[in-house]
């Protein structure tokens, strides 16, 4: 079950966190994985881990916010069966204290970056009359998060794009879904705590972990396993859906 043998999968944000976990899981399942990221060193580390599994990944240093760069790369790849849009950045702030620069930066990566990859991949999928797209949304797409104005904006847009793509291309054999994780223990979390709470990292990590009713953060591989299912032939009847994977955050935190 859940084999991806000989399927070409493009994964953005593949150098770390959820994107890296998806790349490793997909490679184990036999996919031809194309790893996209801006962090060359971390991207190479991901590629090397995949090679140790016996797969031969292709790594690409590319900025998802550049449409010409994405179009050129996708043309070179030639065939895309699966697109997983994991690349994204966060930002802390409310509407009144988020700078225009920070707002534009989040929009450019999280919204325009997704659009650029969709814009590049969908024509190929239409030509092949099949394809699967997974976008990485967030619990912020469904509920209000304190001090996450720009980030929530961007993830709400990801949800909207997912539903639009699913409806527009359902007759072309293209499925599009998104997943909405709560907090996931990635290098971003560790760097955030080190920067903002020096000396209190463990205390704050435990505090953030407990915001999920299940009592901990997710592991990236747990998110990757859901992505694998949704991209597999076993999920061939699923499209136009958002899947919270949140340790009970949305439903069990609601009064």
- Pairs from 233-239 (Cβ < 8 Å, separation ≥ 24): 233/3, 234/1, 234/2, 235/175, 236/175, 238/175, 238/177, 239/166, 239/170, 239/175, 239/176, 239/177
The reply to whether 115 belongs to the active site is no
Measure the CA–CA gap between 110 and 108, rounded to whole angstroms: 6
At residue 230, φ and ψ (nearest 5 deg) are -65, -25
Q: Which of 107, 115, 151, 169 is catalytic?
A: 151
Task: Give 143's DSSP letter.
Answer: S
Give me 79's structure tokens.
């065939």
Measure the CA–CA gap between 45 and 34, rounded to whole angstroms: 14
Give the pairing of strands 58-61 and 82-85: unpaired
Inter-residue contact 35 to 46 (CB < 8 Å): yes
- Helix, strand, coil shares of the chain, percent, nearest 5, are 50, 15, 35
Instruction: List active site positions.
Output: 151
């Amino acid at each position: 079950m859940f084999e991806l043998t000989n399927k070409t999968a493009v994964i953005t944000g593949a150098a770390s966190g959820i994107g890296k976990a998806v790349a490793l899981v997909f490679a184990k399942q036999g996919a031809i994985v194309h790893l996209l990221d801006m962090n060359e060193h971390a991207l190479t580390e991901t590629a090397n881990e995949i090679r140790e599994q016996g797969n031969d990944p292709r790594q690409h240093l590319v900025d998802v916010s550049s449409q010409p760069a994405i179009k050129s790369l996708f043309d070179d790849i030639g065939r895309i069966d699966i697109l997983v849009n994991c690349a994204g950045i966060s930002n802390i702030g409310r509407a009144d204290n988020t700078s225009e620069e920070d707002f534009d930066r989040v929009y450019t990566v999280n919204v325009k970056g997704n659009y650029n990859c969709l814009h590049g991949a969908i024509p190929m999928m239409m030509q092949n009359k099949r394809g699967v797209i997974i976008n990485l949304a967030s619990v912020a797409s469904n509920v209000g998060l304190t001090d996450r104005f720009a980030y929530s904006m961007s993830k709400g847009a990801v949800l909207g794009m997912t539903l639009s793509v699913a409806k527009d291309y359902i007759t072309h054999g293209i499925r599009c879904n998104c997943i909405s994780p709560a907090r996931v223990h990635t290098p971003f979390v560790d760097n955030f705590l080190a920067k903002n709470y020096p000396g209190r990292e463990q205390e704050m990590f435990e505090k953030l972990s407990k915001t999920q009713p299940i009592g901990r953060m997710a592991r990236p591989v747990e998110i990757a396993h859901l992505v694998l299912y949704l991209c597999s032939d076993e999920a061939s009847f699923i499209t136009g859906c958002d899947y919270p994977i949140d340790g009970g955050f949305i439903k069990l935190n609601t009064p």
